[in-house]
């Protein structure tokens, strides 16, 4: 799928950690004939019995368009809920519930301003989020007036009485029943292309999204109620899988601890046998012991995480310096210094343009001061960020004193931006003051 010019949208999912996403089971296990073998494997199923292998699926975190295909993460495992009926025809089996799956990713997703995990609900504190007449937001690539869309859609539906869906669809489990709501383009409902998409409700005055449902099935014409898998019913299963991931991390740590114990024992024996090695081996023992404590602290800090590995970060920085700048336009630099080689990144002295050498989150810092007089302004703008809301003004110094005296304004700013390979940033100066002095512009892969 990553070789296509655009994203081929199979389903929509919801990240719950940097390595796990929730989605619908029917996205990977379809039954379009009367029955399928229970042990049907990908590549060897009868016609009409689809089984999708993990190595044929990739996840595009934060994709808001089918053209956002430059960042993807491969899938290592697809875990289908055991209650999902893999044998019966779709129209029969899906009504029994269990239409929920967990994707385990091969590597950590890089979180940024537009890629963040959604919160799982607390069964006690958040039970009211799925009450009747509650409004839920759904995100997906579903049809818009029967036209295939290329941009991520957001719509709102209303929770209806469970008895309505039970009668309409002959449900055997207590899932979430929904009717059409109102969106930015009129009536909205779950549609083809929304499968697996998360239904969220909001807490903390609308600042925190809580995942309460996963799109299961409905009608394309919005004429009948839609059904979502009730996340509250499956929290024990979800937490069990996340705990298993943590246990694997614990097992790896225990194995490492055993190896360290062997090395410590050998070193202590050598210390006893050869007094000349006492000082050296004591330092080695201390180093290993400290490292062991560090691992124990790491396990404790990440007890709720199921990740086996952590994102590898490279701390380095490249900085441009200039004593004074007075001209409108892009600031260039007199000197450029790099603490460590910046993974192929470059800050050009002559053009003043920084070019990212790797995908990742970058920390950008800027310091300096401006000298201005009455009614004068000085502005330094960070240009080249992908989204307009990330273009932040560093300083807007001004004076209205009217007495002819010039004043000095100084400041510093720091941003964290997700950049792609080849993306460029620069500083643009404008204003009518004396200028911008003592400029230091630094960028580092965070």
77-119 pLDDT, tens digit each: 999 998 888 776 655 667 788 899 999 999 999 888 888 899 9
Most confident of 10-24, 211-225, 242-256, 307-321: 10-24
Count other C-beta atoms under 10 Å from residue 321's C-beta: 15
Give the mean pLDDT of 183-190.
Answer: 48
C-alpha–C-alpha distance, residues 79 and 56, integer Å:
14
- Kindly indicate the confidence band of residue 199, based on its pLDDT and cuts at 50, 70 and 90: very high
DSSP 204: T
Pick the CATH number of 318-445 from 2.60.40.1260, 2.60.120.40, 3.40.640.10, 2.40.128.30: 2.60.120.40
Whether residue 429 is predicted with pLDDT greater than 50 in this model: the reply is yes
C-alpha–C-alpha distance, residues 320 and 176, integer Å:
56
**What is the per-residue burial (b if ≥16 Cβ within 10 Å, else e) of 46-75?**
eeebbbbebeebbbbbbbeebebbebebeb
- Give the range among 46-55, 336-345, 429-438 with minimum mean pLDDT: 336-345
The pLDDT score that the predictor gives to residue 170 is 81
137-148 pLDDT, tens digit each: 888 876 555 556
The pLDDT score that the predictor gives to residue 249 is 56
The pLDDT score that the predictor gives to residue 416 is 76
Give the mean pLDDT of 281-288.
Answer: 60
C-alpha–C-alpha distance, residues 160 and 361, integer Å:
42
Cα dihedral 142, 148, 149, 155 in deg (nearest 10): -30
Q: Indicate the fold that domain 14-237 takes in CATH.
A: Thrombin, subunit H (2.40.10)
Give the mean pLDDT of 156-162.
Answer: 88
Please tell me whether the overall predicted TM-score, pTM, comes out greater than 0.95 for this model: no
**Domain residue extents for the chain:** 14-237, 247-301, 318-445
Please, what is the end-to-end C-alpha distance for the chain in angstroms?
30
- The residue that leads in pLDDT, 176 or 69, is 176
Q: Which residues are paired to 15 by β-bridges?
A: 21
Percent of the chain beyond pLDDT 70? 64
Give the mean pLDDT of 264-278.
Answer: 66
């Amino acid at each position: 799928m990553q070789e296509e010019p655009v994203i081929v949208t199979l389903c929509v999912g919801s990240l719950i950690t940097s390595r796990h996403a929730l989605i619908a089971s029917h996205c990977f296990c379809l039954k379009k004939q009367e029955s399928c073998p229970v042990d049907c494997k990908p590549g060897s199923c009868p016609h009409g019995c689809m089984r999708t292998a993990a190595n044929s699926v990739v996840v595009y975190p934060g994709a808001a368009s089918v053209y956002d295909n430059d960042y993807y993460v491969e899938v290592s495992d697809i875990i289908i809920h055991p209650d999902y009926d893999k044998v019966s025809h779709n129209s029969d089996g899906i009504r029994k519930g269990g239409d929920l799956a967990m994707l385990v990713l091969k590597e950590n997703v890089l979180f940024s301003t537009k890629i963040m995990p959604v919160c799982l609900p607390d069964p006690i504190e958040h039970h009211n989020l799925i009450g009747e007449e509650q409004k839920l937001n759904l995100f997906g690539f579903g049809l818009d007036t029967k036209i295939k869309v290329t941009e991520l859609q957001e719509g709102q539906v209303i929770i209806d009485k469970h008895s309505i869906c039970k009668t309409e669809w002959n449900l055997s489990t207590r899932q979430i029943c929904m009717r059409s709501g109102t969106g930015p383009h009129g009536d909205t409902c779950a549609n083809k292309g929304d499968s697996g998409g998360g239904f969220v409700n909001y807490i903390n005055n609308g600042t925190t999204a809580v995942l309460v449902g996963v799109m299961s099935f409905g009608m394309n014409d919005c004429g009948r109620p839609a059904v979502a898998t009730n996340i509250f019913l499956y929290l024990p299963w979800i937490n069990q899988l996340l705990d298993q991931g943590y246990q694997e991390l614990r097992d790896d740590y225990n194995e490492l601890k055993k190896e360290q114990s062997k090395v410590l024992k050998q070193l202590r024996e050598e210390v006893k046998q050869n007094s000349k090695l006492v000082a050296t081996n004591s330092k080695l023992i201390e180093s290993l012991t400290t490292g062991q404590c560090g691992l124990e602290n790491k396990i404790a800090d990440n007890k709720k995480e199921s990740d086996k590995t952590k994102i590898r970060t490279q701390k380095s920085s490249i900085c441009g310096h200039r004593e004074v700048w007075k001209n409108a336009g892009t600031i260039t630099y007199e000197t450029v210094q790099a603490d460590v080689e910046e993974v192929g990144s470059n800050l050009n002295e002559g053009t003043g343009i920084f070019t990212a050498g790797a995908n990742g989150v970058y920390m950008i810092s800027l310091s300096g001061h401006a000298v201005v007089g009455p009614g004068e302004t000085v502005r330094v703008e960070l240009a080249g960020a992908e989204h307009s809301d990330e273009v932040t003004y560093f300083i807007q110094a001004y004076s209205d004193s009217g007495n002819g005296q010039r004043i000095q304004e100084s400041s510093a700013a720091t941003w964290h931006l997700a950049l792609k390979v080849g993306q460029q940033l620069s500083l643009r100066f404008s204003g009518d003051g004396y200028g911008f002095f003592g400029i230091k512009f630094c960028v580092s892969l965070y």
